[in-house]
């Protein structure tokens, strides 16, 4: 991490009448552009089209989107304000289905409003903005801790493979899977990161290499299909990915391709780790079977990055995420510590008392 110039993909600017400043991630690495989001519809769209993406960042976006959505309600009508809050949260819930952080953050916003019931619209609005900012700040702190807990896994001279982007861009700051790399780099360890390009939207190629390169970390971009080869060549000592939703038994949903990587890592005897904050755990969900998997527009495959890459009429299947069974995961790095081995009992021992 470039400490003097950190990457903060989402920030609230100003007071209640302020706006959200977002890094427009669809333009990276060609262009670094900050966009201004002033209403909940624009925030919904930014989440949907991946201008802001990555589970923790989506949660922050939903929280800040809630504040934007309830602005302008009649100050004297608390009941009307509550109805609008429900409407806004229901709307934001439809933006993307897999990352549980979105639902977790909205639950926190509703609870915050409940806790301030009867105090008037102005005070509840102020509390909601404070809650959204707290969600952002707590995420930054959790990511820092994940970095500290995960850094001992990255030893001098090792090779780490990662998938998609679970870095600063996907969180408030620092990232989850990339946080241990930032800490290890700061400690002076020399290591190499293999970044999968991550088809179809190339978060690994566009975002992870940009982030790691900016921090001065040795990163090699590979096609997704090269992962098996670099493993067989002995270049990879461990895999670390992020997560979008982790069930009570440790089954983990993450970017499509993660499950395949875990199978490959198992076949080559390479430890496979997941890094995620407690906000990514869905403890009421017993296992990965129940995780809703988003399907994306087929044109993201047929017209990769705007160019025709397949015939218009070809049928496509494009799940955005897959589920890696807990049995293939060596450990889960959380802000509270490393869960290893991964089982219902170890997850519950570390996170059992998590509340939204
Ligand atoms: O579709 P995306 O880009 O939102 O998918 C992101 C991922 O799958 C990340 O690995 C995950 O959200 C963890 S982010 C810290």
Q: 61-82: per-residue pLDDT in tens?
A: 999 999 999 998 888 999 999 9
Residues 6+ apart with CB under 8 A from 348: 248, 283
Top-tier CATH class for 148-351: alpha beta
Question: What end-to-end distance do the CA atoms of the chain give, in Å?
Answer: 29
Structural element, H or E, at residue 44: helix 40-48
Query: Best of 24, 58, 166 to mutate for ligand 1, by most ligand atoms within 8 A of CB?
Result: 166
Q: Indicate whether this model's pTM tops 0.95.
A: yes
Mutational pocket test of ligand 1: of 244, 280, 335, the residue with most ligand atoms within 8 Å of the beta carbon: 244
Query: Which contiguous run of DSSP H or E holds residue 24?
Result: none
What three-state secondary structure class fits 36?
Answer: strand
Tell me if 205 sits within 8 A of 198, measured CB to CB: yes
How far, CA to CA in Å, does 242 sit from each of 147, 171, 274? 12, 11, 5
Give the CA-trace dihedral at 263, 271, 190, 217, to 10 degrees.
40
**168: enclosing H helix or E strand:** none
Q: What are the beta bridge partners of residue 331?
A: 273
Kindly tell me the sign of the dihedral angle through the C-alpha atoms of 75, 80, 82, 84: negative
CA separation for the pair 232, 72 (Å, rounded)? 59
- Taking the C-alpha atoms of residue 276 and residue 339, their distance in angstroms, rounded to an integer, is 11
> Cβ < 6 Å from ligand 1: which residues?
50, 53-56, 99, 164, 166, 170-171, 175-176, 203, 241-244, 254-255, 320
**Does the domain made of 10-144 have the CATH classification 1.20.120.420?**
yes
DSSP 8-state code for residue 192: E
Tens-digit pLDDT profile for residues 90-112: 999 999 999 999 999 999 999 99
Of all atoms in ligand 1, which is nearest to the CA of residue 54? Answer: 12
Out of 56, 172, 175, 203, mutate this one to test ligand 1's pocket (max ligand atoms within 8 Å of CB): namely 203
Q: How far is the CA of 50 from the centre of ligand 1 (A)?
A: 10
Residue identified by tokens 């290890």 is 184
- The residue nearest atom 6 of ligand 1, judged by CA position, is 54
Cβ(180)–Cβ(240) under 8 Å? Answer: yes
Distance 348 CA to ligand 1 centre (A): 24
Task: Output the CA 329–ligand 1 centroid distance in Å.
Answer: 17
Q: What is the pLDDT of residue 355?
A: 52
Q: Which atom of ligand 1 is nearest to the CA of 58?
A: 4
Q: Are strands 159-162 and 192-196 parallel, antiparallel or unpaired?
A: parallel
Residues, the chain: 356
Please state the atom number of ligand 1 nearest to the C-alpha of residue 320: 1
Pairing of strands 218-222, 252-255: unpaired
* pLDDT (0 to 100) of residue 1: 63
Active-site annotation holds for 196: no
In ligand 1, which atom is closest to the CA atom of 203?
3
Strand partners, 36: 21
Nearest atom, ligand 1, residue 294 CA: 1
pLDDT of residue 127: 98
Segments in 252-297 forming alpha helices (H) = 258-267
Q: One of 244, 251, 282, 322 is an active-site residue; which one?
A: 244
Residue 74: its pLDDT value, please? 85
**pLDDT score of 353:** 65
- Give the pLDDT of residue 314: 97
Q: How far is ligand 1, taken at its centre, from the CA of residue 208, in Å?
A: 11
- Are 147 and 118 in contact by the 8 Å Cβ rule? The answer is no
Q: Is it true that the peptide bond before 341 is cis, omega within 30 degrees of 0?
A: yes
Distance CA 47, CA 42 (A): 9
Write down the domain spans for the chain: 10-144, 148-351
Residue of the nearest CA to atom 15 in ligand 1? 166
Mean pLDDT by 10 residues, the chain (356 residues): 82 97 98 98 98 98 98 91 98 98 98 97 97 98 98 98 98 98 98 98 98 97 98 98 98 98 98 98 97 96 89 96 98 98 97 66
């Amino acid at each position: 991490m470039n400490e003097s110039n950190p990457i903060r993909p989402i920030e609230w600017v100003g007071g209640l009448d302020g706006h959200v400043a977002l890094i427009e991630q669809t333009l990276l690495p060609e262009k670094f552009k900050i966009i201004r989001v002033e209403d909940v519809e624009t925030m919904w769209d930014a989440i949907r089209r991946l201008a802001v993406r990555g589970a923790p960042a989506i949660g922050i976006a939903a929280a800040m989107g809630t504040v934007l959505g309830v602005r302008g309600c009649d100050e004297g009508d608390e009941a009307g304000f509550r109805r609008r809050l429900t409407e806004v949260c229901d709307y934001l819930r439809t933006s993307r289905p897999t990352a549980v952080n979105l639902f977790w953050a909205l639950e926190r916003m509703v609870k915050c409003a409940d806790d301030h019931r009867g105090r008037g619209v102005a005070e509840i609005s102020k509390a909601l903005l404070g809650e959204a900012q707290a969600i952002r700040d707590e995420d930054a702190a959790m990511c820092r801790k994940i970095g500290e807990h995960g850094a001992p896994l990255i030893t001098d001279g090792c090779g780490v493979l990662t998938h998609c982007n679970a870095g600063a861009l996907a969180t408030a700051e620092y990232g989850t899977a990339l946080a241990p790399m930032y800490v290890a780099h700061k400690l002076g360890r020399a290591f190499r990161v293999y970044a999968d390009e991550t088809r179809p939207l190339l978060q690994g190629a566009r975002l992870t290499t940009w982030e790691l390169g900016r921090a001065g970390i040795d990163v090699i971009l590979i096609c997704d299909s090269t992962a098996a080869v670099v493993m067989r060549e002995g270049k990879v000592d461990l895999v670390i990915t992020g997560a979008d939703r982790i069930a009570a038994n440790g089954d983990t949903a993450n970017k499509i391709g993660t499950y395949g990587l875990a199978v490959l890592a198992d076949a080559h005897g390479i430890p496979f780790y997941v890094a995620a904050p407690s906000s990514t755990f869905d403890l009421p969900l017993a296992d990965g079977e129940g995780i809703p998997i988003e399907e994306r527009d087929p044109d993201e495959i047929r017209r990769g990055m705007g160019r025709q890459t397949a015939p218009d009429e070809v049928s496509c299947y494009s799940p955005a995420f897959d589920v890696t069974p807990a049995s293939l995961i060596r450990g889960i790095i959380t802000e509270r510590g490393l869960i290893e081995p991964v089982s219902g009992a170890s997850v519950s021992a570390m996170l059992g008392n998590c509340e939204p």
